[in-house]
Structure 1
């Protein structure tokens, strides 16, 4: 690849291609068809021979469990895995492919002449920085943005020869395949960690965990959190002493100051009330209760958090307590979800020998390092993809 500066070629280009890209409007090489709006009462939740999967905005939400089917839709609202769909209203400009079914009125199906246009190139062209910008401008900034046929067709872009299109599409597919693989591995390791957190600590009423590291035996002891840690409840500085000056003291107030289990500086203060030191565990005591993070800084803590001096075993004990809803019994039913100093100090946890604590802490911290490495790779690939979407198209 090489970097270009001319406007009729992209900034980043495969160096085997030399021909200029041709300026076109989308009406010159695509055709739109609009989907079908079916009332929820007329949809089905079970498949049948004459029914088609109904592609709605719910499909774009990875957490949605709603699946609908519709009866005998017309051919013009059916798409196959080779087609490209794009949202035209609401969350305008979302692009999907490799899905088959009947599509909702919120979608356009973007068809194209396959001899002149490579599918993957068109897919990523629609996702490119300049095209997305034009789509959003034309859709408007009303409460519900809406892109019509004419506005889409009028968007100008540049198109290379089909061989270069194929090369560009293949490159982005490789990046997306890597992203998908890393995301799958990340999800698997996160799920594995949750499973091990539930099995490597004793369940309620038991004194021995279901899964144990080699070389350890004996029952775990019940202790209050205050017996095995030092706990400092936060106290908020006066608001007039808040600053945005990084030379002042970092202020930690709640979960907004914690990301990926680490304190992230967001706000500062000139007033020292209560203090947490490097390596301390920060526990949120106000909604949402029980979130945790470690601090790599000396920080002032507000009343939304507590600081706990404890080892890695204590850190993962607290993570398991959050995962299993331990703190819910203290905050359920209150107007404002929170836990008190006494709730924390008198919380009963189970403790093995110090050697087993260290081994468990090392096990989970190693697992966290692996999870973090996948998160970092995903971030790097997403940054690369964003850069390529901006610089490999005109």
Structure 2
């Protein structure tokens, strides 16, 4: 008999084999006629398949729309299963009372069975379900398919305990994600208020103890620029000198995936140093120009690629924050080549920004560095919790 790898203490190994249809009731909804605009002027949230995990919906329908269509009401706590399109196989516990369309199957457990347990089982089985019923990603799932899915059920008490565990994990994840969103929103707000706006020489919000106008300077006056390494495919090795490229920069941080190493003997450019900022200055995608990351630790035997520029300065945390502002994005767009997505070093040096005195630069840099640390810490915690949840889904269900 199959046994899950992880079981709570005190429960025996007996499992009951059932289908989703055996232990639940289910139904799909419909879509009110879009030609009747009054149908979409009500206050009933209209949940579509891309919104099954959300507390909000883009559309709302009226009581009349509900009455004159196949749309059906679901309650907070019902299981919502996406049947169609790109979201096929996605599943969640409804966060709201609302109406659903035909692309969603609402699932209500019978007495003695638990939404959290069933939902997490379906989540764990998503890839297997899609592979079995949607080979090549074509077609749609159906209520009949979902109801035929088999699962192995422990006792009702153990189902409840397992469901509670995953509910707690989901709540913890949601809390970290909410905090992350708040920190990211705070950073965006403060970047717009702690640097002078166009036509102004002082910021809207200033840290205590600082006054006086900021002075306009070209970046070339305060920053040393250095170029990256040009190499051939034959120079690439399985180990050697690490070459940082655009793929190593994500959301203002260095990541170490898709790494490229080259023969140290061909390196003819500067090694990156603690406090340097690496910036993408040429790329096939215009949106990636200006993407940057601060070097936060010593990185011996590491250089940047030819489509990157290195920045070295006295107050790197301030400059790193400056490069996060909309003013920098404006300067990038103003200086991009007409046919090649590139910022030349000459144009980079000539970009003009307002600068405070050194002490204020350091204080502003520290403020945003602390914010970045909180953001990264929350991102790492979210990643750890998601990895833990994925492992538990794999090991606690058969």
2:390 match = 386
Aligned partner of residue 107 in structure 2, secondary structure: strand
Q: What is the CA deviation profile of residues 145-196 of structure 1, one whole-angstrom value per residue up to 9, with x for unaligned ones?
A: 4223443333221112222222211121111111111111111111111111
1:166 match = 160
Select 1:57's aligned residue among 49, 53, 58. Answer: 49
2:294 match = 294
What is the CA-CA distance between 1:48 and the residue it aligns to? 2.3
Write the distance in 2 (CA, Å) between the matches of 1:276 and 1:353: 29
What is the CA-CA distance between 1:367 and the residue it aligns to? 1.6
1:152 matched to 2:152? The reply is no
2:346 match = 342
2:333 match = 328
Aligned partner of residue 322 in structure 2, secondary structure: helix
Select 1:372's aligned residue among 376, 392, 398. Answer: 376
1:119 matched to 2:111? The reply is no
Write the distance in 1 (CA, Å) between the matches of 2:108 and 2:102: 16
- Structure 1 unmatched runs, 5+: 1-5
Q: What is the CA deviation profile of residues 351-392 of structure 1, one whole-angstrom value per residue up to 9, with x for unaligned ones?
A: 222222222211211121112111121111111111221122
Aligned partner of residue 353 in structure 2, secondary structure: strand
1:43–1:68: 8 Å Cα contact kept in structure 2?
A: no
Write the distance in 2 (CA, Å) between the matches of 1:116 and 1:56: 29
What is the CA-CA distance between 1:239 and the residue it aligns to? 3.3
Aligned partner of residue 12 in structure 1, secondary structure: coil
Q: How does 1:243-258 map to 2 (within 5 A)?
A: 243=237, 245=238, 247-254=239-246, 256-258=247-249
Write the distance in 2 (CA, Å) between the matches of 1:335 and 1:25: 59
Select 2:280's aligned residue among 267, 279, 284. Answer: 284
- Structure 2 unmatched runs, 5+: none
Select 2:98's aligned residue among 98, 101, 108. Answer: 101
1:84–1:95: 8 Å Cα contact kept in structure 2?
A: yes
Assess, with a 3 A threshold, how the Cα gap between structure 1 residues 152 and 289 changes in structure 2: closer, same or farther: same
Write the distance in 2 (CA, Å) between the matches of 1:60 and 1:325: 37
TM-score normalised per structure 1? 0.86
User: Aligned pairs, how many?
Assistant: 379
Write the distance in 2 (CA, Å) between the matches of 1:63 and 1:322: 34
Assess, with a 3 A threshold, how the Cα gap between structure 1 residues 276 and 197 changes in structure 2: closer, same or farther: farther
Q: What is the CA deviation profile of residues 51-89 of structure 1, one whole-angstrom value per residue up to 9, with x for unaligned ones?
A: x43222342597998425361245773322232110122
Aligned partner of residue 329 in structure 1, secondary structure: helix
What is the CA-CA distance between 1:228 and the residue it aligns to? 0.7
Assess, with a 3 A threshold, how the Cα gap between structure 1 residues 44 and 178 changes in structure 2: closer, same or farther: farther
What is the CA-CA distance between 1:38 and the residue it aligns to? 5.0
Select 2:212's aligned residue among 214, 218, 232. Answer: 218
What is the CA-CA distance between 1:42 and the residue it aligns to? 5.0
1:3 match = none
1:95–1:126: 8 Å Cα contact kept in structure 2?
A: yes
2:54–2:95: 8 Å Cα contact kept in structure 1?
A: no
TM-score normalised per structure 2? 0.86
